[in-house]
Amino acid sequence: MRVTGRATARRGVARTGLWAALAAPGTLWLLALFAVPFYAVAAVAFGYTDPLFNAPIPEWDPRYWDVTTFGEVVQRSLTGDLRPVFLRTLLYVGVALTVCVLIGYPVAYYLARHAGRRKGLLLALVLAPWWINYITRMLAWLNLLQDDGYVNDLLMAGHLISEPVRWLSGNPYTVILALVYGYIPFFIVPLFSTLDRVDERLLEAARDLGCTGARAFWHVTLPLSRHGLMTAAAITALPMFGDYYTTTLVSGSPTTTMVGNQIEFYLLGGSRKELGASLVLILSALLMALMAYYLIATRRAERDLT
């Protein structure tokens, strides 16, 4: 028995080592794609700007990093002119994520529990927007939302408005709805995957114990889908924080500027690239804090289920 146990343990170690070896190239590749660009951004943020050619001079040696500009950006983000931009970004992403939950959860639940043989077709329709370039889809919105577009024509025909709404002139509702439209597939798909794996026997047991459909959902389905809900929220919110082209396309107004727009401005059009690079570091730190919270919450949710 002892010999058999040792042989099984050796096979387990060998299998683990094999999978680790197979995963190593991809892991190293991903680390390189993250670490090298991130270090380059840090080198620009803590570097200098050539006053003659207005070009960034990265400082690759951490011993000579200059944190003056980074400190300036932190101060402006906390109490200066960048503070409203961060608050606006948090508000837009928070509201857009809430709308994604309100719309996406029922859709994912229907696909997983009630779609039947149409599940594959409906899931393909949810994924269909990914087959079209994001900017192309956003450009389609411009035709719909312009002053003489179909949305205003429809609302005026229904006597809901008396004059055209200027949807594309710094309207925050347009930005939020565009974010929801652009990223809601990222929310539905992982949540659908979680709901689809909920064991039907648990729901039948809840009903056998006298639970109504609503109580079975509240006490069984919702707790079991909490992990997928958090995953969907993280996957949806993270790209929203760095989004800049949605606001540019559907608004283009300083009143709806998000952090991504400020980064684009400083890196592509500004004279001090280190300001944009410092903003990238601050936004990255914010997203890492959110990801840490997500990982801790996920760990707690898994522990509660076991």
> What token pair was written down for 257?
């500027």
HSE-CB at 259 with a 13 A cutoff on CA atoms is 27
Can you give the pLDDT at residue 1? 52
CA distances from residue 235 to 54, 88, 175, 238, 247 in whole angstroms, order as listed: 37, 20, 19, 6, 19
Can you give the pLDDT at residue 269? 76
For residue 32, the tally of other CB atoms under 10 A from its CB is: 10
What is d(CA 187, CA 138) in angstroms, rounded to the nearest whole number? 18
What is d(CA 120, CA 104) in angstroms, rounded to the nearest whole number? 17
What is d(CA 285, CA 279) in angstroms, rounded to the nearest whole number? 10
Contact between residue 155 and residue 161 where contact means Cβ atoms under 8 Å apart: yes
Instruction: Tell me the Cα Rg of the chain.
Output: 25
Amino acid at 258: M
Can you give the pLDDT at residue 30? 83
What is d(CA 89, CA 184) in angstroms, rounded to the nearest whole number? 17
Can you give the pLDDT at residue 161? 85
pTM (two decimals): 0.84
pLDDT mean for each 10 residues of the chain (306 residues): 64 76 86 87 88 82 90 91 93 96 94 87 86 83 86 89 87 92 91 89 85 86 88 90 88 88 86 87 90 82 68
Can you give the pLDDT at residue 5? 65
First to last CA, the chain: 31
User: Domain 91-304: what homologous superfamily?
Assistant: MetI-like (1.10.3720.10)
Which residues are paired to 56 by β-bridges?
49
Can you give the pLDDT at residue 49? 79
Can you give the pLDDT at residue 15? 73
What is d(CA 196, CA 188) in angstroms, rounded to the nearest whole number? 12
Can you give the pLDDT at residue 3? 55
Contact between residue 291 and residue 234 where contact means Cβ atoms under 8 Å apart: yes
For 56, phi then psi, to 5°, come to -70, 145
What is d(CA 241, CA 233) in angstroms, rounded to the nearest whole number? 12
